[in-house]
Amino acid sequence: GAVVSQHPSRVICKSGTSVKIECRSLDFQATTMFWYRQFPKQSLMLMATSNEGSKATYEQGVEKDKFLINHASLTLSTLTVTSAHPEDSSFYICSARPSTGADTQYFGPGTRLTVL
Amino acid sequence: KQEVTQIPAALSVPEGENLVLNCSFTDSAIYNLQWFRQDPGKGLTSLLLIQSSQREQTSGRLNASLDKSSGRSTLYIAASQPGDSATYLCAVHMDSSYKLIFGSGTRLLVRP
C-alpha cells in the first residue's frame, strides 16, 4: 500500500531556532502534498497545500514567512518552522495525494514539535 | 464557510456493542467524505471514503452512510472490540482541490 513517512518523528528545540520536517511518499509520486497541524485534543487544521515545482498555497491566518514549504520533487515536501516559539509546539502531519489522480490522500505518522 | 461537527466528542462502551458515530457538515456541496482513525500520537488511517453520489460504503465491521442533502454522515461499528479504541475523524473534500476539512473527532474507548 501507499506509505508516507515523516522525519523526524519527534523534535525538541530551543526558542528562536528553525526546524525542518520532511514528508516523503515512499512508493508513489505525489504532485500535491498537504501540511496540517494538530493541537492536543483538537482536530487537524490545514496549513498549506504544497505543489511540486511551484509555490505553496497557504490557508488564511498561516504565516508563509514563518512556515516555509518546499516541494522540490514528486516524493518530497519539507516544512521549515522558522524562529520557532513555544506556541508553535504542536503535532505536524503531512499527507500526499498520488499523481495518478486517486481521490484519497495518504497521511504520514506525524512529527511532534516541542519548542522550549 | 464549511464547518464539520462530530457528536459525541467522547464515547465509552463495553466490548461487543454496536455503536454509531455522527458527523454533520454545514455546506452540502461536498466532493466526497472520508472517515479516518487516529491512534494517540500517530497519523491517520483512512477507513472509508464515500463519493458525493454514493449513499454508503462498507468495510468489514464498518459501515459509513452519507446523506448529502441533510449534511450528515454516520459511521457504524459492529461488535466493537478493545482494538477499536481510537479517535475517529470525519473530513470533507469541498472540491477537486482535495483540501480536507476535518471535524473535531470522537474519542472512542471500548472496555474489555
- Asked if A99 contacts A29 with a C-beta cutoff of 8 angstroms, the reply is yes
A44 CA to chain B: closest CA distance, Å?
6
Of B42, B99, B105, the CB nearest to A43: B105
Interval B18-47 mean pLDDT: 92
Across all residues in chain A, what is the average pLDDT? Answer: 92
A19 vs B96, higher pLDDT: A19
Nearest to A27 by CA among A2, A61, A5, A47: A2
Asked if B46 and A107 come within 8 Å (Cβ–Cβ), the reply is yes
| Cα B108 to Cα A24: distance, rounded to the nearest angstrom | 30
| Grid cell digits, residue B109 | 474507548
A43 CA to chain B: closest CA distance, Å?
5
Across all residues in chain B, what is the average pLDDT? Answer: 93
Asked if B100 and A46 come within 8 Å (Cβ–Cβ), the reply is yes
- Asked if B99 contacts A58 with a C-beta cutoff of 8 angstroms, the reply is no
User: pLDDT by residue (tens digit) across A27-84?
Assistant: 999 989 999 999 887 889 999 999 888 889 999 999 999 999 998 889 999 999 999 9
- Cell 520532511 found at: A22
Nearest to B41 by CA among A90, A63, A47: A90
User: pLDDT by residue (tens digit) across B41-53?
Assistant: 888 999 999 999 9
B48 CA to chain A: closest CA distance, Å?
10
Best to test chain A binding among B95, B99, B108 (most A CBs inside 10 Å)? B99
Best to test chain B binding among A103, A111, A114 (most B CBs inside 10 Å)? A103
| Cα A36 to Cα A92: distance, rounded to the nearest angstrom | 6
pLDDT confidence of residue B96: 67
Interface of B to A at Cβ within 8 Å reads 32, 34, 36, 41-46, 49, 51, 89, 91, 93, 97-105
Nearest to B100 by CA among A25, A53, A55, A35: A35
